[in-house]
Chains A and B, each alone.
Chain A
């Protein structure tokens, strides 16, 4: 018997499962996982991986409840502050997750173990670094056995990285459709011819796809082929150099040079910064969602005030730059993620329950929505009531900037289209948001016609 609150994303593994007890995530290790877990803990691999920030640390705890069949142990891993998915990562985030996976496999091989999965969903960004969260995916290795995760690694990491690097960075969104990684025949068909000049991509994507096609639907009888240690190390090395060589430069997209390109006066930015600081001091949120974060300048103001901050943006170049900054400055409490608010991540997978939607992962204690409302209301025709409804679901406190029609940025949005937005006014904005929020303060931004609003979600809000 298993407890009621097994996570819906955890049903494939016979060696264990993940469940929630009193709001805290636990992992049950069942009898089939026993030798693997013991080997992990006694071989020194666990300590080594945790010390290198490659594996989530855990502690063993007594089973809450009990009476489950074939239970061996229950562990409580360190809490992951925000679960993100590979289709929400920038190029370098996916690349770092790939390299972390391969580094774990290399270290595991030395300890006589191996990763049984090569799934990008097993990696989460904790304290700014990609970390393996599936402790039970490390298994005792059988001498001579090929790497079972090879195909999955290529689908989850190498194929999307190659497509993003050599074809178009937006192709990472294929991971949202293909939850077990991009089919290699699809990747092979989409990649440009020049990808075949790279040995690693030729072997691990193009030939891999052909080999899969050749054996598809055939109940081929194959010998249990042996891959010796040198072969395994060679395979990992080849995948690693293939993944490492792929590059994507974050430039030339619409928003990455936003602050350099706008008519913001420096004092306007400074006033906004002070307003964010004031908001943080007033609300003292533990979690902040910065929606439309650009490269994360204001996310860092929130993070500096102690909040764990998710910096969402729809532009891959902004998210990439933001992540590179997190990495370079070893920031631990900012996670940049790719998110198109007009089509945020939905619930996906089996029973629509394996992967959570954006709003499932909230609400945040506080939301920042700076220079965003005009893109939703005018760029995407969302009525202000609809915007208010969304923000009320996303967070409890809200710092939102109203950008009036007279603003040059809004004028720019209206240049090529008819102005059908007669209700896009300050008065209507205040009325629409006032239905769901208490408006606590209005802060005019000097040097512009914009204003910031500090709001608190009402206890009972209409649907």
Chain B
């Protein structure tokens, strides 16, 4: 049962974000559930994406740096 607690917490967070969307204004058709979920998780997945892109850039930079160092080392020997 302990495994379901984080799931419930995650759902409550998503639900909370959904409730922010569900306040007023336009009526939306049967796809409402998909719509609300997408708006609710957009921040989360957007953030995850930004972090991923950032890490990739760092990894690429380090790789380049490392490659340069080894090629320099190769020249020296």
Check if B10 sits within 8 Å of A231, measured CB to CB.
no
Q: Give the interface residue-count category, chain A.
A: 35 or more
Give the distance in Å from the alpha carbon of A196 to the alpha carbon of B37 in the complex: 17
The reply to whether the CB of A81 lies closer than 8 angstroms to some CB of chain B is no
CB-nearest residue of chain B relative to A203?
A: B41
Check if A231 sits within 8 Å of B37, measured CB to CB.
no
Residues on B with beta carbons closer than 8 Å to the beta carbon of A219: 27
The reply to whether the CB of B64 lies closer than 8 angstroms to some CB of chain A is no
Q: Which one of A214, A222, A232 contacts B42 once the chains associate, using CB atoms below 8 Å?
A: A232
Nearest CB of chain B from residue A234's CB, rounded to whole Å: 4
Give the distance in Å from the alpha carbon of A227 to the alpha carbon of B48 in the complex: 15
Residues on B with beta carbons closer than 8 Å to the beta carbon of A216: 33
Give the distance in Å from the alpha carbon of A228 to the alpha carbon of B46 in the complex: 9
The reply to whether the CB of A357 lies closer than 8 angstroms to some CB of chain B is no
Nearest CB of chain A from residue B1's CB, rounded to whole Å: 12
Check if A212 sits within 8 Å of B34, measured CB to CB.
yes
Of the listed stretches A108-116, A143-151, A299-307, chain B binds A143-151
Q: Give the interface residue-count category, chain B.
A: 35 or more
Check if A227 sits within 8 Å of B21, measured CB to CB.
no
Mark out the residues of chain A between 193 and 245 whose CB falls within 8 Å of any chain B CB in the assembled complex. Answer: 193, 196, 202-203, 207-208, 210-216, 218-228, 230-235, 237-238
CB-nearest residue of chain A relative to B3?
A: A193
Residues on B with beta carbons closer than 8 Å to the beta carbon of A218: 32
Give the distance in Å from the alpha carbon of A202 to the alpha carbon of B8 in the complex: 11
Give the distance in Å from the alpha carbon of A234 to the alpha carbon of B50 in the complex: 8
Residues on B with beta carbons closer than 8 Å to the beta carbon of A150: 34, 38
Check if A225 sits within 8 Å of B47, measured CB to CB.
no
Mark out the residues of chain A between 171 and 210 whose CB falls within 8 Å of any chain B CB in the assembled complex. Answer: 193, 196, 202-203, 207-208, 210
Check if A196 sits within 8 Å of B26, measured CB to CB.
no
A147-B38 contact in complex given A221-B27, A222-B25, C-beta closer than 8 Å: yes
Check if B26 sits within 8 Å of A228, measured CB to CB.
no
A234-B21 contact in complex given A150-B34, A211-B34, A221-B27, C-beta closer than 8 Å: no
Scoring B residues 43 to 77 as 1 if CB is less than 8 Å from chain A, else 0, what string do you get? 11111111010000000000000000000000000
Residues on A with beta carbons closer than 8 Å to the beta carbon of B43: 231
Nearest CB of chain A from residue B22's CB, rounded to whole Å: 5
Nearest CB of chain A from residue B51's CB, rounded to whole Å: 10
Give the distance in Å from the alpha carbon of A146 to the alpha carbon of B37 in the complex: 10
Nearest CB of chain A from residue B57's CB, rounded to whole Å: 15
Give the distance in Å from the alpha carbon of A154 to the alpha carbon of B21 in the complex: 21
Q: Which one of B24, B28, B37 contacts A207 once the chains associate, using CB atoms below 8 Å?
A: B37
Give the distance in Å from the alpha carbon of A238 to the alpha carbon of B38 in the complex: 12
Q: Which one of A202, A225, A233, A234 contacts B36 once the chains associate, using CB atoms below 8 Å?
A: A225
Check if A202 sits within 8 Å of B42, measured CB to CB.
no
Give the distance in Å from the alpha carbon of A154 to the alpha carbon of B41 in the complex: 15
CB-nearest residue of chain B relative to A214?
A: B33
Which residues does B use to contact A, with CB under 8 Å?
Answer: 3, 7, 10-11, 14-15, 18, 21-28, 31-50, 52
Which residues does A use to contact B, with CB under 8 Å?
Answer: 146-148, 150-151, 154, 193, 196, 202-203, 207-208, 210-216, 218-228, 230-235, 237-238
Q: Jot down 13 A-B pairs with beta carbons below 8 A, ordered by A.
A: A208-B34, A212-B33, A221-B25, A222-B23, A223-B24, A223-B25, A224-B26, A225-B35, A226-B39, A228-B42, A231-B43, A234-B47, A234-B49
6 closest A-B pairs by CB: A231-B42, A212-B33, A225-B39, A151-B34, A234-B45, A234-B49
